[in-house]
Amino acid sequence: MKTIILASSSKQRHDILARTRIPFIVEESGYAEDMTLPLAPRDLVQHLAEGKAQAVAARHPDALIIAADTIVVSNGEVFGKPLTEGEAREMLRKLSGVAHDVLTGFVVLDTKTGKKVGRTVETKVMFQTLSDEQIDSYVATGEPLGKAGGYAIQGAGARFVERIEGDMDNVVGLPLQALLEELAKFGVTG
Tell me the CATH number at 179.
3.90.950.10
The residues, ordered by sequence, that sit 6+ positions from 139 with a Cβ below 8 Å of its Cβ are 85, 88, 89, 92, 150
Cα 71–chain centre separation: 7
Give me the domain span that covers residue 170.
3-184
Give domain status of residue 141, yes or no. yes
Give domain status of residue 97, yes or no. yes
Give domain status of residue 65, yes or no. yes
Give domain status of residue 90, yes or no. yes
Closest CA to 68 of 47, 83, 88, 82: 47
Taking only the tens place, the pLDDT of each residue in 12-62 is: 999 999 999 999 999 999 898 888 889 999 999 999 999 999 999 999 999
pLDDT given for residue 189 in this prediction: 85
Give domain status of residue 190, yes or no. no
Number of domains in the chain: 1
Give domain status of residue 170, yes or no. yes
Give domain status of residue 173, yes or no. yes
Pairing of strands 161-165, 3-6: unpaired
Residue 69: active-site member: yes
Taking only the tens place, the pLDDT of each residue in 153-170 is: 999 999 999 999 999 999
Give domain status of residue 189, yes or no. no
Considering the candidates 62, 69, 101, 167, report the single residue annotated as catalytic: 69
